[in-house]
Amino acid sequence: MLIGYMRVSTGEQSLDLQRDALECAGCERVYEDVCSGRATERPGLAQALEVARSGDALAVWKLDRIGRSLPHVVGLVGDLQKRGVGLKVLTGDVDTTTATGRLVFGIFATLAEFERDLIHERTMAGLAAARARGRAGGRPRVMTKQKLKAAMAMMADRDNAARDVAKQLGVSVSTLYAYVDAKGQPRELAAPLLGKRTKSTRAV
């Protein structure tokens, strides 16, 4: 059985073109979704995948109708192949029920792996650059000279909890402690903001 799936991003867009193409291809059942390509919840696609059995094929008008990204599409098709279900892309000459189609999709899988490796390399390079600038990653620190002076004064008052001081200044507790210790004394990172050399002190 050939099972059709179609998707548009908004209710203002028409499904007619996809529906006509899927029906002309011989789809016995057609499921649909109206949602963004980035949506993780797709009831129509879930239904189409649920009814598909070994020997069936899922048909879509274009490849981008079923996936959020190339790696996502490759993962989805991999799951279909394990179940003996094929994929036919009407406008892309992709048909994993044929040897040629499987070869084409094998190239897609290689490209998806390449994309993942590139993302990983960029992430690691970004973290290394952040460490080289004295940051451990995550959101940039937002400590200013004015906030630092206020932090020193407030932390010197033992009645003030670090959590409350950080909240008042609009910084995280870890950022607060990166610049001042528990007694309100400036740490090494505070030196550039204060315009002088400051020895690092340890919180008690």
Tokens of 132: 């080289």
Which entry of 9, 36, 174, 200 is annotated as an active-site residue?
A: 9
Catalytic status, residue 9: yes
Non-local (6+) Cβ contacts of 125 within 8 A are none
Is residue 87 within a helix (H) or strand (E), and if so which, with residue range?
A: strand 86-89
Q: How many residues does the chain have?
A: 204
Three-state DSSP at 161 gives coil
What residue type is assigned to position 3 of the chain?
Answer: I
Tokens 């990983």 found at: 120
Separation between Cα atoms, residue 30 and residue 7, nearest integer Å: 11
Three-state DSSP at 59 gives strand
Tokens of 51: 């009814």
HSE-up of residue 118 (Cα within 13 Å, Cβ side) = 7
Tokens of 155: 């932390």
Three-state DSSP at 51 gives helix
Q: Catalytic residues, which ones?
A: 9
